Structure 1
C-alpha cells in the first residue's frame, strides 16, 4: 500500500470520526421519532375506539345497528383506518366499516387478543357503560411505521452520504478549516444527545461547505425540535381531549342519574296524586250515595206518619166524607199516634245531628249501675208485659261505671226497647253484667227474637236501618242504634252485637268501671203491664142496587194508612176494597181475585213493592191489571225508578184525597164497560184480612 497524504489521512480521520457520530445522532433521532410516532398512533387509535364506543353505547343498548354503522362511517375522515367493527357483548358482529379499496371482510366473531403485524395495527376496545360491558370496538389501521422507518433510513443515508461527501471535499480543500466545524457539530450533536436540548445550534465558522454542513445540522435540529414540540403538543392535546371527554362522560352520567332520580320522584308524586285523587273521588261518591240514601230514607220515614195525620185530618174536615163521632175519635187517635211517632223521629234525628256535629256535652261521673238498671226496669217491664214477655235484670252490688248518667240511661233504654220490640211473642229479654277486665265492665242485652244474619249485622249501625228489618212489621226510625254507638264512643266505651238467625241477638256495651262487680243474680220484675188488644174493624160495604162494585186491592203493611184508604173508599159504592199486609199475600189475592186495580206500597215486609210489580207483570193472569204506587218514597229518583218499573201512576204520601180519587177514576175509566168482576166476594175473608196486619 502506498503512502497516504496528510489531507487523505485528515479526511480519513475526520470522516472516520464524523461518521459514527452522525450515524448515532441520526439513529437516536429516528428511533425516538419512530417510538413517539408509534405511541401517538396507538393513542390516536385508542382515542378513536373510545369515542366510537361511547357514541355506539346507545345503539348497543337499544339494538340499533343503523346508528352504529353511522358512527363507524365517521372514520372515513381517518384514511389510516382501513376497517372497523362493533361487536356485541356476546362477541357477535353488530356493525362494520371498511375503507375504500379494503377487500378483506370483518370476522363474524371476536377470537382471542388482537394481533398486529408490520403492515397492520389491530386494536380491541371494550365498551363499558355503568360498569356493564356492552360490546367491543375493533379497529384495523395501516401500520406506516415500516414505511416511515424506511423513509427515515433513506433520509439518514442521504444526509450521511451528503455530509461525508461534503466533509471529504472540504477536508480535501480546506484541511484544518473543515475539521473545526465538524468537531463543533460533533460536540453539539453529543450535547443534544446527552441533554436532549434541541435548541442548541452549531456555530457557522465559514461560508463554504463546512458552514453549509453546520446549517444543515442546525436545520435538522430545528426540524427535530419542531417535531418534538408538535408531538408534545399533540400528546398534551390528546390528553386534554381525553380528560375533557372523561369529564363530559362523568357529567352526562351525573345528569342521567339526576334525570332518573327526578323521573322517579315525579312518577312517585304522580302515583301518590292519582291515589289521593282516586280516594277523594271514591269518598265523594260514597258520601253522595250515603247522602242520597239518608235523604230517601228520612223522606220515607217522615212521610209515613204525615200520611196518616194529613189523611185523617182531610177526612175530619171534609164535608163529602161524613163520619160518626166514634170514627172521629178513632181518626183523632190515629193522628195523635202518628204525631207522637213523628215527634220521636224528629227528636232522634236531632240527637243524631247533635252527636255527629259534636255539640253534645257529656258530664262524666261515677254512676251506680244498680240505680240505672232499676230506673230502666221500671220503664221497660210494663212494655214487655204488654207483649206477654218478661225482662230479667241482674243485681250488680257495688258496680260503678264512669259515664254520663243521662246518656247511659238513654243507651240502655234504646237497647232494651229494641230487644222487647223485635222479640217473639211471650219471649224473654235477659240483661247480664260481667267484669271483662281490671277496670272494664260489660252490660249485655239478650233477646229470643228472630235474630240477624251476617249481612244485616254488617249494616246494623246505619241510619234508618231498623235492625236490618226494612219493611218489617215493627215501627221504628232506625236511628237509635246510630246515636247509641256515637254516645258510647263519646263516653269512651264500646258497643257490639252477636246474632244467630232463629236464635236471637245479644247487644253489649263496655264502659270503664271504678268499682269491682260482685257476683250478680237475676231478678224478674213482679209488675206486669196489662195487655192491650188491637181493633180490627172492617170498613162497611156500600149499599144500594146497581152494577157489581169494582174490586180494589190495596197491599199495605201500615194499619193507619190502610185505615185511611178504607175510609176514603167506604163512601164509593162502585168500589170494594180488598187488602193484604205483605207482598206474598198480595200476589196470591191478585191471582185469585183478579182485582180491577191494585194500590201497592213499595216498602213491604218480605217482598218489596217493585218485586211484587215485576211478578205481576210477568204473570199473564195479572199482567193487564193496572197498578198504582202509593208510597212515602217521594224523592225524584224514586219516582223515576217507579215509573220506569211499570206503574200506571205514582202517588206519594201524605195522600191528597182529591188527587187519589182522580188517579183511581182515570185509571179505571178505560175499563168502565169491561165485564163485571167476580161477585162472589167472601165478605168474611175481607173483614178478617185487616186483623192479620201488624201494628205500625
Structure 2
C-alpha cells in the first residue's frame, strides 16, 4: 500500500507538473507577444524620430552654410558648424563643396575620428543614411535657388542599442514576475483538477497489480470526473464478466490444443516420410529429364549436321556433274555443231570433272566408313623414308604444273607404328593441300623432327596466304575447304576431317599453325615416328573475263547482252559455249559479285545469270544491291546454282529471282528460261510510258 501510495503521489506530481508546464508556457507566450509588440513599436518610433531630428539638423546646417559656400568663406562655415555643440548627440559634422572637396569640419569634444575624403553621391536635394555600429551617418545635399552648392555630413550617436538593452532588462523582469505569479496560482488551484483523476489512477493500478476486477473507484465530485468514474466502474464490471468467460474458454481450448498437438505430430511424421519419397522421385525425374534433354539435343545436332551434310554434298556433287552433263549435251546435240578442237577441249573438261567427282565420292565413302566404325587399320612398323619417296613421286606432277618446289627431308630413315596405306593417304592429303593452296612458284617443305622419347613429328609447311585464327579454329570441320571462303578450289572440305580421324585411329595427333600472309604448317605426331612440316596457301580469285559472241547477221537486230556472274571457270566456259550458238545474245562474265555489280551498272544487260555461292559476296547480297539501285532494279535475275534442295529453291524465289535453275544445266530448260525472262522484259519495255 505504501508503494501504491507513493506511486499515486508520483502520478499526482506528474500531472501537476504537466499542468504547470502548460500554464507557464501559455503565460510566457502571451507575455512575449505583447511585450515584443510594445518594444518593437517604441523602437521603431524612436528610430523614426532620430532620423527626423538628424535630417532637420542637416537641413539647418545646410541652410546656414549656403552663404559661406557661395562666398567661399570656410571660417563662416566653421562658425555655423560650431553651433552643433548644443547637440551633444552630434559627434562630427563636415561641409563639402560642390566638387566634393572638404570645406569645413566640426568634431565634438573627445572625438578623434577622421572624415571621408569625398561624400557619398546623393541626388539633387536628396539624402542618404549609413549606419556605422551605434552611430548614424547622414549625407544631405545643400541646394540654394535650385543650385547644388555642396553636401552636409553629420555623424550622430543613435543610442538605439542602449535603448534595446534597457527594454530587454524590463522585459526579463516583467516576464519573471508574471511567471512566478502564474506558478503560485497553478500550485494553489491545481489540486481541484488532479484529485479525482488521482483516485481513478490508484484504483486502476491496484486492479492491474492484483487482477481483482471487483474493485470500484469512489465518486467524489459531481463534474466530468464523476462521469469518468462511472464509466471506469462500468468497464471494470464488463471486464470481470468477460474474464470469467475467457478463463472457462481457455481451459476448453487448452484441452483441444493438446489433442491437436498430438494429431499434428502424427501428421508431421507422415509428411516427413512423404517428403522423402517425393524427393527421391523428383531426383529420379530430374535425372531422366536431363538424360532426355541431352538425347534431344544430340538428335537435334545430328539432324542439323545431316541437313548441312546433304546441302553441302548436293552442291559439291552437282558442280562437276554440271560440267560433265553440260559439255556432254553439247557434244551429243545435232543442232550445236562443234569443231574437233572444241570436242577435244570439252572431252578434257568432262574427264577432269569426272575424276574430281570420283575423288569426292571416295572421300565421302571413306568418311562414312570411319563414322560407322567399318574402317579397319593394319598397324605395323612402317619405314618413313619409303613412304615419303612414294609421296614425292605422286605429288611431283601436281607441284610442277604450278611451278612449286617441294623439299623432302634426307634424315627420315625411321620406323613409325601406323597403317602404311592410310599413312601415305594422310601425307598425300596434306601435300596436295599444300600445293593446291600455295601461291604460284611457291615452296613446300617437309620436315621430320623428334619430339619425345618415342614420338616423331612430320610437318608440311607452305608459303601460301596463311589462315586467320577464326579459320584455324574451324579448320577440321566438314565442308570447311581449309577455311578458304574466298577461294575457287574444288573439293568437299572433308579431306582434313578424314585425315584427323585416320591420325587419331593410328594413336597420333594432328595440328596446324598459320600466319596470315606468310603460310601454314600442318603437322602429325606418331609413336616412334618422325613428322613433316606443311604449308597451306590461298589461290587468288580468277580475274574477270568477258567473252565475245559471234556478230549478228547483216540487217538483223542488235544482240542483247546477258551478264553471267560465276567463279567456277568450267561452269563459265560451259555457259559461254551454250550461248555461242545464239547470235541474238552477247555474254558478259564476272567472277565475283563486286565485278558483276560494276558490269551491270555500266552495260545494263537485258538479263543476269548468277551463281549463289560467290566469293566475298553471296548471290543473295548481289541481288539485294541490284534491287536497291534504280538503274538495275528492273533487270531480271536468274539463279544458276548447285544448291538444289527444296528449301534452297523456295528461299531463292522468295528473295526475288525471276527463275531458279539448278546444276547440272539442262540446255533446253536453260534456253527456255532465258527466252522467258527476255520476252517478259521486252513486254515491260513496250508497255512502259
Scaled to the shorter chain, the TM-score interval is 0.5 to 0.7
TM-score, normalising length: structure 2: 0.59
Separation in structure 2 between the aligned mates of residue 540 and residue 249 of structure 1, nearest angstrom: 100
What is the CA-CA distance between 1:463 and the residue it aligns to?
A: 2.3
Checking the alignment, whether the CA contact within 8 Å between 2:456 and 2:526 is kept in structure 1 is: yes
Cα distance, 1:521–1:411 mapped onto 2, change above 3 Å: closer
Match of 2:681 among 631, 649, 671: 671
Cα distance, 1:259–1:522 mapped onto 2, change above 3 Å: closer
Gap regions ≥5 residues in structure 2: 1-212, 214-236, 535-542
For residue 482 of structure 2, give the secondary structure of its aligned residue in structure 1: coil
Q: CA RMSD, aligned part only?
A: 3.4
Aligned to 1:485: 500
Match of 2:317 among 302, 318, 328: 302
Separation in structure 2 between the aligned mates of residue 623 and residue 656 of structure 1, nearest angstrom: 28
Cα distance, 1:301–1:143 mapped onto 2, change above 3 Å: closer
Aligned to 1:592: 602
Alignment of 1:554 onto 2:569: no
Answer 1 or 2: higher relative contact order, Cα 8 Å, separation at least 6. Answer: 1
Separation in structure 1 between the aligned mates of residue 265 and residue 239 of structure 2, nearest angstrom: 39
What is the CA-CA distance between 1:610 and the residue it aligns to?
A: 1.3
Aligned to 1:324: 339
Checking the alignment, whether the CA contact within 8 Å between 1:542 and 1:571 is kept in structure 2 is: no
Separation in structure 2 between the aligned mates of residue 463 and residue 667 of structure 1, nearest angstrom: 38
Alignment of 1:650 onto 2:665: no
What is the CA-CA distance between 1:440 and the residue it aligns to?
A: 1.6
What is the CA-CA distance between 1:641 and the residue it aligns to?
A: 0.9
- Deviation per residue, 1:279-336 (Å, 9 max, x gap): 2222222211111111011011111111111111111111111111111111111111
Aligned to 1:581: 591
Separation in structure 2 between the aligned mates of residue 141 and residue 522 of structure 1, nearest angstrom: 101
Checking the alignment, whether the CA contact within 8 Å between 1:395 and 1:521 is kept in structure 2 is: no
Aligned to 1:622: 632
Is the deviation greater in 550-559 or in 453-462?
453-462
- Deviation per residue, 1:666-685 (Å, 9 max, x gap): 10003337889xxxxxxxxx
Alignment of 1:363 onto 2:378: yes
Checking the alignment, whether the CA contact within 8 Å between 1:430 and 1:446 is kept in structure 2 is: yes
Separation in structure 2 between the aligned mates of residue 301 and residue 143 of structure 1, nearest angstrom: 91
Spell out the pairing of 1:458-607 with structure 2 (5 A cutoff). Answer: 458-470=473-485, 472-513=487-528, 540-545=549-554, 546-607=556-617
For residue 522 of structure 2, give the secondary structure of its aligned residue in structure 1: strand
TM-score, normalising length: structure 1: 0.59
- Deviation per residue, 1:110-142 (Å, 9 max, x gap): xxxxxxxxx999xxxxxxxxxxxxxxxxx9569
Alignment of 1:661 onto 2:676: no
Spell out the pairing of 1:426-465 with structure 2 (5 A cutoff). Answer: 426-465=441-480
Match of 1:351 among 341, 366, 373: 366
For residue 391 of structure 1, give the secondary structure of its aligned residue in structure 2: strand
Checking the alignment, whether the CA contact within 8 Å between 1:494 and 1:511 is kept in structure 2 is: yes
Checking the alignment, whether the CA contact within 8 Å between 2:404 and 2:441 is kept in structure 1 is: yes
Separation in structure 1 between the aligned mates of residue 432 and residue 677 of structure 2, nearest angstrom: 44
Checking the alignment, whether the CA contact within 8 Å between 1:388 and 1:425 is kept in structure 2 is: yes
Separation in structure 1 between the aligned mates of residue 367 and residue 567 of structure 2, nearest angstrom: 27
What is the CA-CA distance between 1:556 and the residue it aligns to?
A: 0.9
Separation in structure 2 between the aligned mates of residue 246 and residue 639 of structure 1, nearest angstrom: 75
Cα distance, 1:593–1:304 mapped onto 2, change above 3 Å: same
Alignment of 1:313 onto 2:328: yes
Spell out the pairing of 1:67-82 with structure 2 (5 A cutoff). Answer: none
Separation in structure 2 between the aligned mates of residue 582 and residue 364 of structure 1, nearest angstrom: 47
Separation in structure 2 between the aligned mates of residue 390 and residue 607 of structure 1, nearest angstrom: 33
For residue 489 of structure 2, give the secondary structure of its aligned residue in structure 1: coil
Spell out the pairing of 1:119-268 with structure 2 (5 A cutoff). Answer: 140=247, 248-268=263-283
For residue 483 of structure 2, give the secondary structure of its aligned residue in structure 1: coil
Separation in structure 2 between the aligned mates of residue 496 and residue 105 of structure 1, nearest angstrom: 97
Is the deviation greater in 580-589 or in 407-416?
580-589
Match of 2:239 among 93, 103, 110: 103
For residue 451 of structure 2, give the secondary structure of its aligned residue in structure 1: strand
Aligned to 1:377: 392
Checking the alignment, whether the CA contact within 8 Å between 2:461 and 2:520 is kept in structure 1 is: yes
Count of residue pairs brought into register by the alignment: 441
What is the CA-CA distance between 1:339 and the residue it aligns to?
A: 0.8
For residue 359 of structure 1, give the secondary structure of its aligned residue in structure 2: coil
Cα distance, 1:397–1:420 mapped onto 2, change above 3 Å: closer
Checking the alignment, whether the CA contact within 8 Å between 2:460 and 2:532 is kept in structure 1 is: no
Structure 1: 4+ residue segments shifted above 4 A: 139-144, 244-250, 520-523, 536-540, 673-676
Checking the alignment, whether the CA contact within 8 Å between 1:395 and 1:522 is kept in structure 2 is: no
Separation in structure 1 between the aligned mates of residue 269 and residue 438 of structure 2, nearest angstrom: 76
For residue 394 of structure 1, give the secondary structure of its aligned residue in structure 2: coil
Separation in structure 2 between the aligned mates of residue 504 and residue 645 of structure 1, nearest angstrom: 39
For residue 579 of structure 1, give the secondary structure of its aligned residue in structure 2: strand
Separation in structure 1 between the aligned mates of residue 305 and residue 526 of structure 2, nearest angstrom: 30
Aligned to 2:623: 613
Separation in structure 2 between the aligned mates of residue 597 and residue 537 of structure 1, nearest angstrom: 16
- Deviation per residue, 1:640-679 (Å, 9 max, x gap): 1111111000000111111100000010003337889xxx
- Deviation per residue, 1:22-56 (Å, 9 max, x gap): xxxxxxxxxxxxxxxxxxxxxxxxxxxxxxxxxxx
Cα distance, 1:421–1:143 mapped onto 2, change above 3 Å: closer
Cα distance, 1:567–1:399 mapped onto 2, change above 3 Å: same
Separation in structure 2 between the aligned mates of residue 392 and residue 446 of structure 1, nearest angstrom: 10
Checking the alignment, whether the CA contact within 8 Å between 1:542 and 1:572 is kept in structure 2 is: no
Checking the alignment, whether the CA contact within 8 Å between 2:449 and 2:532 is kept in structure 1 is: no
Separation in structure 1 between the aligned mates of residue 331 and residue 661 of structure 2, nearest angstrom: 21
What is the CA-CA distance between 1:617 and the residue it aligns to?
A: 1.2
Checking the alignment, whether the CA contact within 8 Å between 1:422 and 1:449 is kept in structure 2 is: yes
Cα distance, 1:522–1:589 mapped onto 2, change above 3 Å: closer
Separation in structure 2 between the aligned mates of residue 421 and residue 317 of structure 1, nearest angstrom: 33
Checking the alignment, whether the CA contact within 8 Å between 1:402 and 1:513 is kept in structure 2 is: yes
Cα distance, 1:449–1:247 mapped onto 2, change above 3 Å: same
Separation in structure 1 between the aligned mates of residue 470 and residue 652 of structure 2, nearest angstrom: 26
For residue 563 of structure 2, give the secondary structure of its aligned residue in structure 1: strand
Separation in structure 2 between the aligned mates of residue 562 and residue 105 of structure 1, nearest angstrom: 112
Alignment of 1:283 onto 2:298: yes
Separation in structure 1 between the aligned mates of residue 283 and residue 630 of structure 2, nearest angstrom: 61
Separation in structure 2 between the aligned mates of residue 397 and residue 281 of structure 1, nearest angstrom: 49
For residue 433 of structure 2, give the secondary structure of its aligned residue in structure 1: helix
- Deviation per residue, 1:224-253 (Å, 9 max, x gap): xxxxxxxxxxxxxx9xx97x9787555433
Cα distance, 1:402–1:548 mapped onto 2, change above 3 Å: same
Separation in structure 2 between the aligned mates of residue 281 and residue 521 of structure 1, nearest angstrom: 42
Checking the alignment, whether the CA contact within 8 Å between 2:546 and 2:588 is kept in structure 1 is: no
- Deviation per residue, 1:30-88 (Å, 9 max, x gap): xxxxxxxxxxxxxxxxxxxxxxxxxxxxxxxxxxxxxxxxxxxxxxxxxxxx9xxxxxx
For residue 672 of structure 1, give the secondary structure of its aligned residue in structure 2: helix
